[in-house]
Structure 1
Amino acid sequence: MAQNFSALSRENIARKMNVEPSEMEPLNQDELERIEQRLDGTNFSKSDIPSKEDMHMFSTIDFSNTSFEKPLLLSKRLFPASLSVADSVLFDNFSVAESIFLSAHFRRTSFKRHAYFRKTEFGTIGSIRNACEFIDCDFYQHADFSEGALLNADFSKTRFHTSAHFENTIFALGCPKFFEAELPENTLFPLKDGNWGLPFTRFDRRGDLEDFTDADITREAVKYTVLRKRMDAIQRPVESGFFLRKELSLRSNLKGWDALLIKLYGFVSSYGYSIQRPVIALLLTILLGVGVFGGYFAQGDPANVRSENPYQSGIGISISATFSFLGLGRLFYIETLQNLPSPIAFIYGIQTFSGFVFSFLLGLGVRNRLRLK
């Protein structure tokens, strides 16, 4: 009786919420395990947990409109609270290295000396989305964020006057915002895909990620566009190329023919960075031609080939077709090419076009790998 009443109650609740009754059913064991796995994937492992003496149990920490003339050192501490620093000036060194924050919000803050955020985690505990904000700040000396974890970081309008290091930093929930920011020439960013997380924001009832909308993808791609332009401005072609590949990888998930072309470009050449893929594509193009032309010559008049072995001629004419834009077509009798039937001639033309495209992508990959400009 209780079971029927519970089911009836769920149906009434579902009807009032305008959802399917199945959405109100209790999660089964498999669904619960999948949710736990998803949640485990969003947390960062903690090798060293601070002691109770180093934990600060405040609801908020507000250092706004404050001037610090002496060093402010808060390293290796746990702050399960929000830190707010607005319109403040730190005249000496500032360090929260290896600390863990629920969230930190710096606005219009001036760091006159060194600022150390090495191995600092912002937002890896709790569920605050905008957990790391440095908006309209000034870092006059070295700013070190290396090996940290920054959740949905925002550095908009912030000026790094000397150096900014983000080596091996994990940017959780997507690319950080650097809108209208100023970066020096010795800025360092991690160049591994694993350091740049996707902005997963919605889960279904089974713990699976919901698909991104085109608007979500475009917003994320624009962040990489901004970083790419910043790297171009300070003449850092390696970092610029990395951010371009990240941008194109996101845009390939949009809808439309242009996204399909971008995806094909990424598959064939890793967005102009791979050398191996264009080489493999050229070899496959040549092998395809060998099979087609060799088979044709094996059935045709031996007088139309340059050797008694038709497949040797197939290799030669396939290479000639693939690299005909280099003038290699003159290596074979013109009569042989003129007498090819239409289907074989069509394949010859496809090989010529493919050979040109793959050769171009190969040259582009060599150029980008050798960091040429």
Structure 2
Amino acid sequence: MNELTEKIETELQTPDNNVYYRLYLEGEDIWNRWARGAFSDEEAEEYGLGKVEPFSDKEKANLAAKLRVKLLPEYEDEIDFSYLHFGLITNFRGYVFPINVTFNGAVFNGIADFSKATFARPVDFTRAIFKEESAFHSTTFTTRTNFNEATFLGASDFTLSTFMRRAIFEESTFKGKVTTFREVTFKGQVEFSRVQFFEIVDFINSGFLGPADFDGTMFNSYSSFENSSFLAITDFSNGYFKQVPDFSGAKLHEGTTFYKRYFNRKNKNANSNGYAKFEDSYRILKKHMIDTNNHTMALKFYSYEQDERIKHLPLFKKTPLLLYKWMSGYGVSFVRPLIAIFMTILVFTLTYTKIYNSLSFMEALRFSTANMFPFASGSKLIISDVFRDPLLTNFIGTLQALTIIQSLVSLILLFFIGLWAKNTFQMK
């Protein structure tokens, strides 16, 4: 138990002393009839309570007596569940919260179900702890929502939920085996900065209509943004993806940034379909970088794309691409072909000195260098001088074959350097 958890649990309140907790125990129907009294007919329709009858005065009095209070709670107050200790099952499924509600520091010891609930006013789950599964499936958050520093120890499900305004998950921790934000709509600003996702997290088919902040977010396992749409500025700066993220089919806003974001390109248990998806992900990221004129990142994602492409190809198709990678880094490396040029010069220099004893090492080195750069000034003269050497008359055929081979290698490596220059200044 960490220091924060210990602090929260020492501040926990007794549920039985909380009138809202006792009202919650009466069930969804009673709660929503009480909530109905806070809304006009038009608002009641909006929040799904159009057919719910509000309490009569007599029913209010009877319910107040049952809850051991003189009057039912007023709607000007705040529903306060802060630091409450909830039991093994917490069921707020379908509940409508008509006024501000806080679960600040609350601890849910078992399954917590808020599916199809509606928060008509701001809700605060700051520092709340969910020890088991938590469900917010098809939940509607009408205004500001705060899960700042919340801890989810079990699987959490926000599938089909809607956040109408600002949603804050800053510094939250998700340790459950699966965290699901599938088909979620974020209509306002959403903040996932410095969040820790320890296991699988799923944002498939979700829509980010406002700015999205993932600055410093740690994705420690597989993460998917497949077919998601980012329609405003999105920040993935800093932090890391410990496995290849899935951005296949995603739409990125031109203001999306991955500044200092680390990509670990190893994925556990990936198959050919998985590699194809990762290839698509990097292709989308590459295109985004091209569209935003970030050529350095475009080249980086292009090389990642090719790496994933190789993984699901048969050997006969994979081999030339591996050679292409080794010699040029897929046309984005200047150093690799340059090193290959120096190595080729050295190898052919040693070959010439071994076959032709009349050539000294320095003569062979000049000849080999001239063959690598045949269009350079003086190269033709050096080459012709060697071919006119009477001591090499008997080896002219072999010498011609070697020079042709070296010239072909030279053309390939010089082409890779030219390709690097082209890709560096204009990624297409």
TM over 0.5: yes
1:135 alignment partner, SS class: coil
Match of 1:51 in 2: 5
* CA–CA distance in structure 1, aligned partners of residues 309 and 140 of structure 2: 44
Deviation at 1:356? Answer: 1.4
Q: Give a deviation string over 1:5-30, Cα, whole Å, max 9, x none.
A: xxxxxxxxxxxxxxxxxxxxxxxxxx
Match of 1:196 in 2: 264
Q: Provide closer, same or farther for how the CA distance between residues 68 and 333 of structure 1 changes in structure 2, counting only shifts above 3 A.
A: closer
Match of 2:239 in 1: 169
* CA–CA distance in structure 1, aligned partners of residues 275 and 251 of structure 2: 25
Deviation at 1:321? Answer: 0.9
More helix by share: 1
Deviation at 1:262? Answer: 1.4
Match of 2:213 in 1: 143
Q: Provide closer, same or farther for how the CA distance between residues 223 and 159 of structure 1 changes in structure 2, counting only shifts above 3 A.
A: closer
2:134–2:155: 8 Å Cα contact kept in structure 1?
yes
Match of 1:251 in 2: 309
Q: Provide closer, same or farther for how the CA distance between residues 178 and 251 of structure 1 changes in structure 2, counting only shifts above 3 A.
A: closer
Deviation at 1:216? Answer: 4.3
* CA–CA distance in structure 1, aligned partners of residues 319 and 351 of structure 2: 29
Larger RCO, structures 1/2 (Cα 8 Å, 6+ apart): 1
- Decide which moves more: 346-355 or 275-284: 275-284
Deviation at 1:251? Answer: 3.2
* CA–CA distance in structure 1, aligned partners of residues 280 and 266 of structure 2: 14
Q: Does 1:158 align with 2:208?
A: no
Deviation at 1:82? Answer: 3.4
2:156 alignment partner, SS class: strand
2:289 alignment partner, SS class: helix
Q: Provide closer, same or farther for how the CA distance between residues 238 and 169 of structure 1 changes in structure 2, counting only shifts above 3 A.
A: same
Q: Does 1:344 align with 2:344?
A: no
Q: Does 1:354 align with 2:409?
A: yes
Q: Give a deviation string over 1:151-179, Cα, whole Å, max 9, x none.
A: 32222332222211212333244222341
1:330 aligned to which of 380, 396, 406? 380
Match of 2:105 in 1: none
2:337–2:414: 8 Å Cα contact kept in structure 1?
yes
The one-letter code matched in structure 2 to 1:249 is D
Q: Give a deviation string over 1:345-369, Cα, whole Å, max 9, x none.
A: 211111111111112223333454x
Deviation at 1:259? Answer: 0.8
1:64 aligned to which of 128, 138, 143? 138
Q: Does 1:217 align with 2:307?
A: no
Match of 2:349 in 1: 290
1:99 aligned to which of 172, 177, 184? 172
The one-letter code matched in structure 1 to 2:400 is A
1:238 aligned to which of 280, 296, 318? 296
Q: Provide closer, same or farther for how the CA distance between residues 165 and 238 of structure 1 changes in structure 2, counting only shifts above 3 A.
A: same
Q: Provide closer, same or farther for how the CA distance between residues 81 and 89 of structure 1 changes in structure 2, counting only shifts above 3 A.
A: same
Q: CA RMSD in A?
A: 3.1
Q: Give a deviation string over 1:166-200, Cα, whole Å, max 9, x none.
A: 12333244222341x221223222667x6334221
The one-letter code matched in structure 2 to 1:358 is L
Deviation at 1:332? Answer: 3.1
Q: Provide closer, same or farther for how the CA distance between residues 74 and 233 of structure 1 changes in structure 2, counting only shifts above 3 A.
A: same
Match of 1:277 in 2: 336
Match of 2:155 in 1: 82
What is the aligned length?
299
Q: Provide closer, same or farther for how the CA distance between residues 359 and 49 of structure 1 changes in structure 2, counting only shifts above 3 A.
A: farther
1:297–1:314: 8 Å Cα contact kept in structure 2?
no
Deviation at 1:96? Answer: 1.0
1:51 alignment partner, SS class: helix
* CA–CA distance in structure 1, aligned partners of residues 260 and 280 of structure 2: 18
In structure 1, runs of 5+ residues without a counterpart are: 1-45, 202-211, 301-309
In structure 2, runs of 5+ residues without a counterpart are: 9-126
- Decide which moves more: 262-271 or 325-334: 325-334
The one-letter code matched in structure 1 to 2:140 is T
Q: TM-score when scaled to structure 2?
A: 0.61
1:325–1:356: 8 Å Cα contact kept in structure 2?
no
Q: Give a deviation string over 1:318-355, Cα, whole Å, max 9, x none.
A: 12211125576522364743755222221111111111
2:224–2:247: 8 Å Cα contact kept in structure 1?
yes
The one-letter code matched in structure 1 to 2:251 is E
Q: Does 1:112 align with 2:192?
A: no
* CA–CA distance in structure 1, aligned partners of residues 225 and 185 of structure 2: 13
Q: Provide closer, same or farther for how the CA distance between residues 51 and 371 of structure 1 changes in structure 2, counting only shifts above 3 A.
A: farther
Deviation at 1:116? Answer: 1.0
* CA–CA distance in structure 1, aligned partners of residues 223 and 186 of structure 2: 18
1:178–1:227: 8 Å Cα contact kept in structure 2?
no
The one-letter code matched in structure 1 to 2:268 is F
Match of 2:322 in 1: 263
The one-letter code matched in structure 2 to 1:199 is N
The one-letter code matched in structure 1 to 2:368 is S
Larger Rg: 2
Q: Does 1:316 align with 2:366?
A: yes
